[in-house]
Amino acid sequence: MKRISTFIMVLACTFASAQTIDDVLRYSTENLQGTARFQAMGGAFGALGGDLSALNVNPAGSAVFNYSEIGFTGTNYNRNNDAFFGNSVRNNTDNSLELNQVGGVFVFQSNNSPWKKIALAFNYDMVQNFDNEFFASGNTTVGVDNYFLNFAQGQALGPLRVQQGEFIEEAYLDIGSSLGYAAQQAFLGFQAGLIEPTVDDDNNTSYFSNAEYANVRQQYIQNTSGYNSKFTLNFASQYREDLYLGASVNFHNIVYDRISYLDEDGYDQDSPVQFTTFDNLLHTEGYGFSFTLGAIAKLNETIRVGGSYQSPTWYTLTDDTSQRINSTLAEPDIDFINFGIVNLYEEYKIKTPEKFTGSIAMVFGKDGLISFDYSYQDMSKAELRPASDPNFTAENQFISNTLGTVNSYRIGGEYRIDEVSLRAGYRFEESPYESGDFIGDLNGYSAGIGYNFGGSRLDLAFSRTEQDVNSYFFDGGIDTSALVNQVNTNISLGYTLKF
């Protein structure tokens, strides 16, 4: 086998799709973002409008504006994660600061038509901020050798060997592109010395572990970054005094990075393997399209009702992955399998489910208001596409059987004292899984204050959400996971200028 002492070239190879239910959920979920006023009132704006981020709920809301205006919002995101793993709890916090909303609306009045008003609006919102990190550490009876054994059983030994004159990094990429992900993981486990063939024959298809233990100690770090953003172009109109109609087209953009580090030791004293490290990097980029239709009606001076339809979002995405591994028994060249060796996957598509929202609000003149939104989304209809692709058939069936309907409830209120507005909100969102063992329900609270200067407004908001999530160390092979209690706290400051 030819060996080299340095490796500086980035090698890449294209693979067949290897996406899972986790990818679908990651891009189907929209977290509460938007203007400070929107966040402070729990996002309950479906029957209210008059806020740039309310366009995400009901596009008819831009016709509620009486004046043209522009606005922007910045948010400090604080993540506090308690990871429960192996009878121990580890805490980790992360902070990031983002400009999460920029938009404007242009209002055109008409005095000689039943169509009293026309509004054209645009808005950028960060609907999901992926910046996050958690750290898990503890003892387990399921070592990482089981991950490689799971993929290796049934794989012929011959292709897992590095051929004469072949670089190990070339073998890694060739196996992935020709035999698939499972064979590639088996190759890593074999070359790292974690697993061995039962018989030293190229036709052998059974393997055993070189790691001996009753339990092992694992340390796992997962760091994610990136965003899912939405740019909205909106048209709405007011008919007579009591009906608002609107439509929006939405352009989505995704950048997502996830890097994980696994260190494992604590094996038996005479175990051939005494330490293992296994790290994984995922990078995803893509874009999407959706549209929204909505209406708001004034039933009387106090009560307003609203309804909206958010179409499925059609995403087009590309992934690339990198891996690195080391152990006591690793082949001398195994360290050349590193983050410079890139697996490029074929372009794939995700269709997220449509969403329906119904809203009601009570407006008490200039004194304040109370608003309530209910949303329904059937997550079992999410799909990896093309659905005819045999790589997606089983996963789409798993999605259909595992995910269920998500009912969301948002309530918000505002009380005005001269130029000061006091706000509060509550948000509840059911788990997308039929069983809440994977992801729990989400609960959120918010509050805020705003000051109206006449031609402009300054708003401050505080929001907090909490949710339990089973975070799996790997996308397949074994189901090792940490139960992470996620507490996200946002502090947002927004400025709006009328003109």
Pairing relationship of beta strands 207-209 and 442-452 according to DSSP bridges: unpaired
Q: Averaged over 83-96, what is the pLDDT?
A: 94
Write down how long the chain is: 499
CA torsion, ordered 431, 433, 439, 444, to nearest 10 deg: -10
Report whether 102 contacts 72 (CB < 8 A).
Answer: yes
Residue 7 lies in a domain: no
pLDDT exceeds cutoff 80 at 272? yes
Residue 279 lies in a domain: yes
Q: How far apart are CA 252 and CA 289, in angstroms?
A: 6
Residues with Cβ within 8 Å of 113's Cβ and at least 6 positions away in sequence, in order, are: none
Report whether 106 contacts 179 (CB < 8 A).
Answer: no
Q: Which residues on neighbouring strands pair with residue 498, listed in sequence order? A: 69
Rounded to 5 degrees, what are φ and ψ at 438? -90, -50
Q: How far apart are CA 138 and CA 86, in angstroms?
A: 4
Q: Averaged over 255-270, what is the pLDDT?
A: 97
Residue 46 lies in a domain: yes
Tell me which residue range forms the domain holding 130: 16-153+214-330+349-498
Lowest mean pLDDT among 9-18, 65-74, 421-430: 9-18
Residue 160 lies in a domain: no
Residue 54 lies in a domain: yes
Residue 102 lies in a domain: yes
Q: Averaged over 138-145, what is the pLDDT?
A: 95
Q: Averaged over 396-425, what is the pLDDT?
A: 96
Cβ-defined contacts of 429-436 (< 8 Å, 24+): 430/405, 430/406, 431/406, 432/25, 432/28, 432/29, 432/379, 432/403, 432/404, 432/406, 433/402, 433/403, 433/404, 434/402, 434/403, 434/404, 435/402
Greatest alpha-carbon pair distance for the chain in Å reads: 91
Confidence band (pLDDT; 50, 70, 90) for 17?
low
Residue 100 lies in a domain: yes
Rounded to 5 degrees, what are φ and ψ at 168? -65, -35
Q: Averaged over 275-284, what is the pLDDT?
A: 96
Assign residue 301 the CATH number of its domain: 2.40.160.60
pLDDT in tens, 344-396: 988 999 999 999 999 999 999 999 999 999 999 999 999 999 878 887 898 99
Residue 194 lies in a domain: no
Q: What is the pTM of this model?
A: 0.91
Question: Which pLDDT score is estimated for 150?
Answer: 95
Q: How far apart are CA 78 and CA 60, in angstroms?
A: 32
pLDDT exceeds cutoff 50 at 1? no
Please count the structural domains in the chain: 1
Tell the residue number behind the tokens 């070359």, with chain if given: 191
Tell the residue number behind the tokens 């509840």, with chain if given: 428
CA neighbor of 486 nearest in space, from 84, 179, 122: 84
CA torsion, ordered 53, 24, 342, 273, to nearest 10 deg: 120
Q: How far apart are CA 59 and CA 452, in angstroms?
A: 24
Q: How far apart are CA 232 and CA 251, in angstroms?
A: 6
